[in-house]
Structure 1
Amino acid sequence: MNAKQTAERQSRIAVVTGAGSGVGRAVTEELLRAGWSVALAGRREETLRETGALVPGGSWMALPTDVSREQDVNALFAATVERFGRVDLLFNNAGTFGPGGVPVEELAYDAWRHVVDTNLNGAFLCARAAYRQMKEQDPQGGRIINNGSISAHAPRPHSAAYTATKHALTGLTKALSLDGRPYRIAVGQIDIGNAATDMTKAMKSGALQANGDVVPEPVMDVADVARTVRHMAELPLEANVQFATVLATTMPYVGRG
């Protein structure tokens, strides 16, 4: 083992899914700057490498992964442990909104399944793989942070698939948190509202509201989300942020409906 590999194995190790863009990219950059070693997972290797290159000298590896495929997820964690020796953090971030603006009666089942497979089944597969590793490694334990959403609390119009998966993710977070107690596995969830990413670009020009109006909505710097995730991640395992809500201060969330 060379000096770099030894240093990597002595640092804190994170797996970030959906690391090629948006919140996943911002969180990866924040962790790398804080000295974490990061396994970047996502569908496109090119964008993963672009993320890793944001922090010169950072310790990272890019692992093309479809989180809805069990074999991909198993390979992701096997490669991470082979390179870095353990897993201290999973940021379960990969997700998709699905077809926007489609009423439920027009929502194709294939589109529904794609959202469920990515947002919920993918989160489960990654959490299960992380759980298995964290339970058996020495020292035992680690942390899982699930990326929920404001939609885990209140839906937007025409968002049945996305909203259903985010509500389900809250239940998964609670169950994992309870089951992880004997093994020093802390599990929490961050619910994000209107972070400035490609996914939220349209909000500044207008988003459909519950009363049928289309109204521009404020957004916040995605770096503020990344700093919150890092705070959650760096707590001792004896402390846990069970749920955190980080949102643009004046977005209409608390007044939806």
Structure 2
Amino acid sequence: MDVMRSGEDQGGGRRVAVVTGAGSGIGRAVAVALNGAGWSVVLAGRRAETLEETAGAMGPGADVAAVPTDVSQPADVDALFAAVRERYGRLDLLFNNAGTFGPGGIKVEDLPYSAWRKVLDTNLTGTFLCAQAAFRLMKAQDPQGGRIINNGSISAHAPRPDSLAYTATKHGMTGLTKSLSLDGRPYRIACGQIDIGNAATDMTERMRQGVPQANGELAVEPVMDVTDVARTVLHMAELPLEANVQFATVLATAMPFVGRG
């Protein structure tokens, strides 16, 4: 029995991935890892200049396209997946990674409605819109099927202090992942979720300075190399569609998660 080579689809060509939030951090690391494994990668993010920086990190010979996209806007998402269809004719992987933490340190009673809406629109609605568009393409293509990996968070399990909007979206992400996994079964669409804790990115730089803990104290938290997250996503992505990592948790070993509070 032939074994599918890294980056190769079931028809013998390069597999195609869309990575949202690809302009920095986890999204950039995952896009670079996919490219290194032979995938064609479509980079989505709000800023064209950071997407070009990610593309530049892939080196010569990369099959990469950058499509500036605000995932909270249906028209932007439609344009993104239309570009994928036009350029490649199919989609094998969507990594739903775009997200925002929102304003930190704001008590529940002081959280502005506008801040709540921005976090929900980006983290949860954006994931839904991209998953819906990917689902339509994967269901219609031949051979049928594909994989969706959603970026959850440790906050899908346990919140940090004063993180109401972010935590709500990440708990919602778990329900979205389960429903997509169930509804995708008849069409060979696999959906899983990776819950990430303290990967070293610009967003987590504050961990090195000290962040609020459940007991009211400030504490410096350990971080892990973001490439370890990318390797985990790559493993999930390259499984055959008959197998699925439903939920994976990858975190800095000594971070306060198990036993948080």
Indicate the TM-score class for this superposition, using the shorter chain for normalisation: over 0.9
**Post-superposition offset of 1:55:** 1.3
Which secondary structure state, in structure 2, belongs to the residue aligned with residue 38 of structure 1?
strand
From 19, 23, 28, the equivalent of 2:22 is 19
Which secondary structure state, in structure 1, belongs to the residue aligned with residue 231 of structure 2?
helix
Q: Which residue in 2 is equivalent to 1:201?
A: 205
**Post-superposition offset of 1:10:** 2.2
Spell out, residue by residue over 1:150-204, the C-alpha distance to the aligned partner (whole angstroms, 9 max, x if none): 0000000000000000000000000000000000000000000000000000101
Does residue 41 (structure 1) correspond to residue 34 (structure 2)? The answer is: no
Q: Which residue in 2 is equivalent to 1:77?
A: 81
From 47, 52, 56, the equivalent of 2:55 is 52
User: What's the TM-score, normalizing by structure 1?
Assistant: 0.96
CA RMSD in angstroms comes to 0.8
Does residue 90 (structure 1) correspond to residue 94 (structure 2)? The answer is: yes
Flag structure 1 segments of 5+ consecutive residues without an equivalent. 1-8
Structure 1 segments (4+ residues) deviating >6 Å: none
Q: Distance in 2 between matches of 1:35 and 1:198?
A: 27
Does residue 100 (structure 1) correspond to residue 132 (structure 2)? The answer is: no
Q: Aligned ranges for residues 104-183 of structure 1 at < 5 Å?
A: 104-183=108-187
Q: Which residue in 2 is equivalent to 1:66?
A: 70
Q: Distance in 2 between matches of 1:199 and 1:31?
A: 22
Which secondary structure state, in structure 2, belongs to the residue aligned with residue 90 of structure 1?
strand
Q: Distance in 1 between matches of 2:247 and 2:93?
A: 16
Which secondary structure state, in structure 1, belongs to the residue aligned with residue 65 of structure 2?
strand
Which secondary structure state, in structure 1, belongs to the residue aligned with residue 19 of structure 2?
strand
**Post-superposition offset of 1:233:** 0.2
Which secondary structure state, in structure 2, belongs to the residue aligned with residue 252 of structure 1?
coil
More helix by share: 1
User: What's the TM-score, normalizing by structure 2?
Assistant: 0.95
Q: Distance in 2 between matches of 1:47 and 1:81?
A: 23
Flag structure 2 segments of 5+ consecutive residues without an equivalent. 1-11
**Post-superposition offset of 1:205:** 1.2
